[in-house]
Amino acid sequence: MSTRDLVLAALFAAIIVALGLVPPIILGFIPVPITAQSLGVMLAGVVLGAKRGGFAVLLVLVLVAIGLPVLSGGRGGLATFASPTAGYLVGWFFAAVVAGYLSERFVDRSQSGIVQITGFFLAALLGGVVVDHGLGIIWLAFGTGTGLSTAFLGDLAFVPGDVLKAMIAALAGRAVMVGYPLLPQRV
Amino acid sequence: MKTLYVEGNTLLHRLSARVKLAALAMASMLLFVADSPVLLAPAAIAAAALYGTLGLGWRNSWQRLRAILLTIVIVSAFMLVINDPGAAATGFFRLTALAFFAATITATTSTGDFIATISSAARPLERTGLGRAADIGLAIGLVIRFVPDVLGRYQAIRDAHRARGLKPSALTLGVPLIILTLRNADEIAAAIDARGIRGQNWDKDQR
């Protein structure tokens, strides 16, 4: 990893940490505040690609593990990984890697805007919702013994919010690509 | 940024981070093998007692553990309704024990010790060419250094919205925040390389 890649990942990790400290953002069209941190995870993959985005999220998880309260609400420490919802947290890493890899695959600088946004949306959706929620459900089901169907049912309540975040990540990812392109191109 | 580490000189503070993490891994395996509340309830009480020996006080402890204990209670209550009381008790005591053990290690291990342990554990990875162990410490330092910068930039962008009478939204806040922050990467990378922090010719060899 070049020094520039290392710095980009560290800067994005700082953005994700900072998003946990700012007050929740209210979306214009829906009166529900969203926690921005998991949006930041999707964006890490969409903006930086699989390798650097994954490293950025890994850095945030390392900060949590070594006892820094960097998650929203001042949560942190090793105990966070013992929580029933720890699968979602560990899933962030895989979410960023998958969203990043798929973004590199789907999105090309020569495509039209709408194609790029659709590609980013699918990447963020598969990484941030399918992969992350999948791991969250598996940990909840087997770590606490709730069983898969119960865990799945409890999870459903959080799907609409994260689909919405994938949409925002897609629009923001495309806007960043236009303003300051960083996503590696795969041929 | 305030860490969750608490200064002290107890036996747990003096133990090396490596030993404590190995003990935690062992404890978590045992907790998952033990599948009955009869075994897990004493384990949870023992873990809470171990945490209690640190003497952090009720208020401080509640602040640290509030989020995780509430999640455990909610999930256990959910299980009590949907599954059976036995499964709910097993899950409750297992996760409570794990949470207290983990919180004990977090409170007695400094971030410096953790970084040293992670770096030495990552050293075998160097041979795979994935990266260098020393980069972990460098990257962690960079993140901590730049969080206040990002927050300052966030506030500036929000104030700019207010000054123009615009409503801040996720998109109009997020996009400039990302671009303005990442645009500094080249200068920071150049500054790191100019100081030779990552060793000479690293880029040329690895790119």
> What pLDDT, in 10s, does the model give residues B101-153?
999 999 999 988 898 998 888 888 777 777 788 888 899 999 999 999 999 99
Written as one string, the DSSP assignment of A122-170 is: HHHIIIIIIIHHHHHHHHHHHHS---HHHHHHHHHTTHHHHHHHHHHHH
The domain ranges of chain B are 11-109, 133-206
Q: Which residue, chain included where needed, has tokens 């609409």?
A: A160
pLDDT at B33 over 90: no
The torsion of the CA quartet B202, B204, B206, B207, rounded to 10 degrees, works out to: 130
pLDDT reported for residue A32: 53
What residues of chain B lie within 8 A of the CB of A145, using their CB? Answer: 79, 83, 87, 90-91
- Residue B27 vs residues B52, B53, B196: alpha-carbon distances, Å: 18, 18, 42
Residue A98, φ and ψ in degrees, nearest 5? -70, -45
Please report whether residue A84 resides in a domain. Answer: yes
Residue A159 belongs to domain spanning: 3-179
Per-residue pLDDT tens digits of chain A, which is 187 residues long: 889 999 999 999 999 999 988 876 655 555 555 678 999 999 999 999 999 999 999 999 999 999 898 988 788 889 889 888 899 999 999 999 999 999 999 998 888 989 999 999 999 999 999 999 999 999 988 887 788 888 898 888 889 889 999 999 999 999 999 988 888 876 5
CA distances from B74 to A100, B70, B81, B85 (A): 34, 6, 11, 14
Q: Verify whether the Cβ–Cβ distance A82 to B98 is below 8 Å.
A: yes
Q: What is the CATH number of the domain that holds A90?
A: 1.10.1760.20
pLDDT in tens, B9-29: 888 999 999 999 999 999 988
Task: Name the pLDDT band for B207 (thresholds 50, 70, 90).
Answer: very low
The token pair at B160 is: 């700019």
Phi and psi torsions of A25, nearest 5°:
-90, 135
Q: Which residues of B touch A21 (CB under 8 A)?
A: 147, 151
Q: What is d(CA A121, CA B62) in angstroms, rounded to the nearest whole number? A: 40
Q: Looking at the domain assignment, is residue A184 inside a domain?
A: no
pLDDT of B63 reads 87
Q: pLDDT at residue B200 above 60?
A: no
Question: Which of B68, B149, B179 has its CB closest to that of A83?
Answer: B68
pTM of the model as a whole? 0.88
Is residue A187 situated within a structural domain? no
Q: Distance, in angstroms, between A151 CA and closest chain B CA? A: 10
Instruction: Report the residue of chain A nearest B73, measured CA to CA.
Output: A84
Domain count, chain A: 1
